[in-house]
Amino acid sequence: MSCLLKLALKKEESEETQKEVEMALLTLSRMGYCFIERELYLKEIEDIMEYQQKHRNLTRLAYWSVWDFLIHRLLADNSLEEVIVNELHFGREAARELEELTRNVNWNRKKGEEMNKEEANEVLVIRRWIKTLKIYFFCCKLHNEEFIGLFCRIVQIYRAAKDNCRDISNLCMYPLRYAAKNRDVKVEDLLKGGAIDAILEEIQRQTLNEAIVNDCFQFLVNVSRKLKEKNKDEREEEERKALNRKVFEKMEEEGYEDVLTSFHEKFEFLKKKYFYDLSFNISDYFVYV
């Protein structure tokens, strides 16, 4: 650990040094879920990230590697949430990286036309970022307003990739599903970030695999449950009702009720074979005003 961090802390801009730094950070990201005392890495990781945010000296793959290493540590040490979200600004940085990566990919290529090497590398990093976001929303409760921008970027990638890079657009459903399940993520933030629109678009596609059907409905049932939680505070209750109305009208515009009804007969099959926590109760998927 100490040797890898020593390599990763190098600031020289030579090509050889950059390769050493990238390899050290990639190796750190391969450590997975194993528990590591925070005293062994946190100060150095913070130094690497803060320097990157000022000077942008790391490659995109290397910068993702630092975040992936840190997000995996959350599974054993949730006290890192404050550092990750409010000190190192994970929501802002992830959104910025995804925006830059997406900008460098031609998503509208003709059928059969292959990506060049640079684009393929960018898509590789996008795929890794999305998988890291899934882990984050699965295990971390804390979030702030910067995550609205992150939801916007996930939706942007979903829409850009859904015609020619179906595997990427499918991946985007995972972090959105877990974000909706996260108790502290507000429905209003999902709405502002375009996540609800993207889910409603997705379930109306003609070809959907079973896993994506599940992700869409898990997202919607969690949104519905949050909107049913009444508030004792009069002002907050009025805000909840107004938000219910917005989501209800959006679902009505998209013909959500007809879509849900068409899928309902398949719920038993999905529940038995794949997804044991999928609700049979059709009212759980609706928003009421």
pLDDT tens for each residue of 8-53? 999 888 889 989 999 999 999 998 888 889 999 999 999 999 999 9
Q: What is the CA radius of gyration of the chain?
A: 21
Rounding to the nearest 10 degrees, give the CA dihedral for residues 254, 258, 263, 193. Answer: 20
pLDDT band at residue 276 using 50, 70 and 90 as cut-offs: low
* CA atoms within a 13 Å half-sphere pointing along the CA-CB vector of 236: 8
**CA 9 to centroid of chain Cα atoms:** 28
- What is the phi/psi pair of residue 228, to 5°? -90, -10
First to last CA, the chain: 55
Question: What pLDDT, on the 0 to 100 scale, is given for residue 147?
Answer: 96
Question: What pLDDT, on the 0 to 100 scale, is given for residue 192?
Answer: 96
Runs of H (alpha helix) within the chain = 2-8, 15-29, 42-55, 60-73, 81-82, 90-103, 117-139, 146-161, 166-181, 187-192, 195-202, 210-227, 234-253, 256-264, 267-273
Question: For residue 97, what are its two tokens?
Answer: 């990286």
Query: Are the CB atoms for 161 and 107 separated by under 8 Å?
Result: yes
Q: Say what the pTM is.
A: 0.92
The tens digit of pLDDT for each residue in 134-163 reads: 999 988 888 899 999 999 999 999 999 988
Question: What pLDDT, on the 0 to 100 scale, is given for residue 273?
Answer: 67
Average pLDDT over all residues of the chain: 90
Rounding to the nearest 10 degrees, give the CA dihedral for residues 155, 112, 117, 132. Answer: 30
Angle between helices 234-253 and 256-264 (to 10 degrees): 80
The tens digit of pLDDT for each residue in 170-189 reads: 999 999 999 999 888 999 99
Q: Report percent pLDDT > 90 for the chain.
A: 60
